[in-house]
């Protein structure tokens, strides 16, 4: 029972749907059966991809922390 990704040709809504047998799928938003099946890429997880994700998250969090600290210092210097 594969899960397919679809885009509605009428309203543009994108969604995933579990397709059973020869059932004709319909858009969850407008009910239209005019759908385009999107190309789904398999998701592969490895230790290398996990480490890249963690590294990117650390860099993002560090930048957010630095930005928040600068905002706090500016706020405190302007409101004392």
Over residues 19-68, the pLDDT tens digits come to: 777 778 889 899 999 999 887 666 667 888 888 888 998 998 888 888 88
User: What pLDDT is recorded for position 40?
Assistant: 66
35 CB-contact burial (10 Å; exposed 0-12 / middle 13-18 / buried 19+):
buried
Residues 46 and 16 in one domain: no
Domains identified in the chain, total number: 2
Residues 53 and 74 in one domain: yes
pTM of the model: 0.45
Write out the residue range of the structural domain in which residue 7 sits: 3-38
Residues 53 and 72 in one domain: yes
Residues 50 and 34 in one domain: no
1: pLDDT strictly greater than 60: no
User: What pLDDT is recorded for position 32?
Assistant: 92
Distance CA 74, CA 35 (A): 51
User: What pLDDT is recorded for position 80?
Assistant: 65
Residues 34 and 66 in one domain: no
Residues 10 and 31 in one domain: yes
Residues 46 and 80 in one domain: yes
CB neighbours of residue 27 within 10 Å: 21
């Amino acid at each position: 029972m594969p899960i397919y990704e679809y885009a509605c040709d009428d309203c543009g809504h994108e969604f995933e749907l579990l397709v059973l047998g020869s059932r004709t799928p319909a858009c969850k938003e407008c009910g239209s059966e005019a759908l385009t099946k999107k190309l789904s890429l398999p998701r592969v997880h490895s230790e290398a991809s996990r480490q890249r994700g963690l590294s990117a998250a650390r860099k993002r969090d560090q930048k957010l922390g630095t930005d928040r600290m600068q905002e706090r210092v500016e706020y405190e210097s302007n409101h004392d």
